[in-house]
Amino acid sequence: MRFGDRVACVALGLCATQASANLLDELGVELVYDDNLTRAQLARDIKGDLALAVSGEAGPRFQLTDYDSLSVKASVTGTKYRHYEGLDNLNAGLALTYRRKFGLGPYVPQFALTGSATRLEYDSRLRDGWLYAAEAEASKRVSDRLALHAFVRSERRESDHTPERVVPFIRANVFDLGSRSVGIGADFACAPRYLVSVGYTWHRGDIVSTTQRNLPIFLASSAIAADPVFGNNTFAYTMRARTGVASIGVSREIGRQATFGIGYEYRNSRADGGIDYNGSLFRATYLYGF
Amino acid sequence: MCTRSLKMPARYRRSVSAGVGGGVLAALLALLLAAPDATAGEIRAAVRDRDGKPVADAVVVAVPAAGTASASHPGVAEEDQRNKEFVPHVLPVQAGTRVSFPNNDNIRHHVYSFSPAKTFELPLYSGTPASPVLFDKPGVIVLGCNIHDWMVGYIYVSESPHFAKTGADGKATLGGLPGGDYTLRVWHPQLEGGEQATARQLAVPSSGAVDAATTIGLVPDFRARRAPTPGRGGY
The predicted-structure confidence for B153-202, as pLDDT tens digits, reads as follows 999 999 999 999 999 999 999 999 999 999 999 999 999 999 999 999 99
Q: Are residues B109 and B176 in the same domain?
A: no
Is the per-residue pLDDT at A3 higher than 70?
A: no
Is residue B178 within 8 A of residue B70, CB to CB? The reply is: no
Is it the case that residue B13 has pLDDT exceeding 80?
Answer: no
Q: How confident is the model at residue A211 (pLDDT cuts 50, 70, 90)?
A: very high
- Contact status, residue A81 vs residue A53, Cβ threshold 8 Å: no
pLDDT score, position A17: 53
pLDDT confidence band for A21 (50 / 70 / 90): low
So what's the pLDDT on residue A166? Answer: 87
Same domain, B174 and B128: no
Contact: A258, B149; criterion CB under 8 Å:
no
Average pLDDT, chain A: 91
Contact A288 B108 (CB under 8 A): no
Shared-domain flag, residues B79 and B156: yes
Stretch 93-112 of chain A: residues touching chain B, C-beta under 8 Å: 101, 104-106
Q: Does A20 touch chain B (CB under 8 A)?
A: yes
Which of A73, A148, A193 is best to mutate for the B interface (most B CBs within 10 A)? A193
Least confident of B46-60, B143-157, B214-228: B214-228
- Is B231 in contact with A256 (Cβ distance < 8 A)? no
What's the mean pLDDT in B23-45? 58
C-alpha closest to that of B183 among B159, B206, B165: B159
Residue B228 lies in a domain: no
The CA distance from B199 to B29, in Å, is: 36
Closest-CA distance of chain B to residue A274, Å = 22
Count of domains forming chain B: 2
Chain B residue numbers touching A148 (CB-CB < 8 A): none
- What CATH number should be reported for the domain holding residue B53? 2.60.40.1120
Of A20, A66, A257, the CB nearest to B110: A66
Q: Tell me which of A77 and B235 has the higher pLDDT.
A: A77
Same domain, B12 and B84: no
Residues of B in contact with A252 (CB under 8 A): none
Confidence band of B15 (pLDDT split at 50, 70, 90): very low
**What pLDDT is attached to residue A20?**
56
The shortest CB-CB distance from A251 to any of B149, B229, B235 is to: B229
Looking at residue A4, its pLDDT comes to: 55
In chain A, pLDDT over 70 holds for what percent of residues?
A: 92
| pLDDT tens figures, A113-172 | 999 999 999 999 999 999 999 999 999 999 999 999 999 999 999 999 889 898 888 999
Count of CB atoms situated within 10 Å of the CB of A190: 10
Neighboring chain A residues of B148 at a CB cutoff of 8 Å? none
Q: Is the same domain home to B143 and B86?
A: yes
Of A178 and B107, the one with more pLDDT: A178
For chain B, the average pLDDT equals 84
Whether B12 shows a pLDDT value over 60: the answer reads no
Confidence of residue B117 (pLDDT cuts 50, 70, 90): very high
Chain B residues within 8 A of A192 when measuring between CB atoms = 220-222
The nearest CA of chain A is from the CA of B71 a distance in Å of 38
Determine the residue type at B1.
M
In a domain, B219, yes or no: no
Confidence check: pLDDT of B31 > 70: no
**Contacts A104 to B, Cβ<8 Å:** 112, 114, 121, 146
pLDDT band, very low/low/confident/very high, at B24 (cuts 50, 70, 90)? very low
Return the pLDDT at B39.
62
Domain membership of residue B225 (yes or no) is no
Q: How many domains does chain A have?
A: 1
Instruction: Verify that B96 and B38 share a domain, yes or no.
Output: no
Sheet of B109-113, strands arranged across: B90-94, B152-158, B139-145, B109-113, B120-125
State the pLDDT confidence band at A274, using cuts at 50, 70 and 90.
confident
Report the 3 state secondary structure along chain A. CCHHHHHHHHHHHHHHCEEECCCCCEEEEEEEEECCCCCCCCCCCCCCEEEEEEEEEECCEEECCCCEEEEEEEEEEEEEECCCHHHCEEEEEEEEEEEEECCCCCCCCEEEEEEEEEEEEECCHHHCEEEEEEEEEEEEECCCCEEEEEEEEEEEEEECCCCCCCCCCCECCCCCEEEEEEEEEEEEEEECCEEEEEEEEEEEEEEEEEECCCHHHHHHCCEEEECHHHCCCCEEEEEEEEEEEEEEEEEEEECCCEEEEEEEEEEEEEECCCEEEEEEEEEEEEEEEC
Domain containing A138 — which CATH number? 2.40.160.40
Residue B54: inside a domain = yes
Q: What is the CATH number of the domain that holds B91?
A: 2.60.40.420
- Is the residue at B156 inside a domain? yes
Question: Within a domain: residue B222?
Answer: no
Structural domain span for residue A212: 3-289
pLDDT of A176 above 60:
yes
Structural domain span for residue B55: 1-66+166-214
pTM above 0.90, yes or no: no
Q: Is pLDDT of A76 > 50?
A: yes
Average pLDDT over residues A271-283: 91
pLDDT tens, position by position, B58-77: 999 999 998 765 556 788 99
Q: Is residue B227 part of a domain?
A: no
First to last CA, chain A: 40
C-alpha pair distances (Å), A63 with each of A16, A99, B111: 9, 9, 14
Whether residue B232 lies inside any domain: the answer is: no
Report which residue type is found at B179.
Answer: G
